[in-house]
Amino acid sequence: MKKLHLLVVAILFVTISCTLDKTDYQSEIDTIVEEFFEFEEVVSFNESGYKISVEALNGTFYKGYNDIRVKITDIENGTTVPASEVTFLPVMTDGLGKTSSGPHLYDLIYNSTENYYTGYAVFTEESTISDNWVLYLSFTVNNQKFSVAKDILINEQLNKNLNMTAFTGNDGQEYLIALIAPQKPKIAENDLVAGIFKYVVPTTEPGNFPDPSQFTYIKVQNYTLLLDPRMPEPSMGNHSSPNNQDLTQQSDGLYYGVVRYTMTGNWTLNFILKSQSGQTVKGTPVSTEFTPGIEGAKSDLFINILF
**pLDDT for 13 beyond 50:** no
Q: Say how many C-beta atoms besides its own lie within 10 A of residue 200's C-beta.
A: 14
CATH 2.60.40.10 in the chain, residue ranges: 39-155
**pLDDT for 125 beyond 60:** yes
Instruction: Label residue 33 by pLDDT band (50, 70, 90).
Output: confident
Q: Say how many C-beta atoms besides its own lie within 10 A of residue 111's C-beta.
A: 11
Kindly report, residue by residue over 63-105, the tens digit of the pLDDT: 999 999 999 999 999 999 989 999 999 999 999 999 999 999 9
**202: preceding bond cis by omega (within 30 degrees):** no
What CA–CA distance (Å, rounded) separates 99 from 65?
19
**pLDDT for 163 beyond 50:** yes
Q: What is the mean pLDDT of the chain?
A: 91
pLDDT at residue 116, rounded to an integer: 97
H-helix segments, 106-171: none
| pTM (2 d.p.) | 0.89
pLDDT at residue 252, rounded to an integer: 97
Instruction: Label residue 28 by pLDDT band (50, 70, 90).
Output: low
Instruction: Label residue 160 by pLDDT band (50, 70, 90).
Output: very high
Q: Which whole number is the average pLDDT over 171-187?
A: 97
Give domain 39-155's CATH architecture: Sandwich (2.60)
CATH class of 159-306: mainly beta
**Whether the Cβ atoms of residue 62 and residue 45 lie closer than 8 Å to each other:** no
pLDDT at residue 10, rounded to an integer: 41
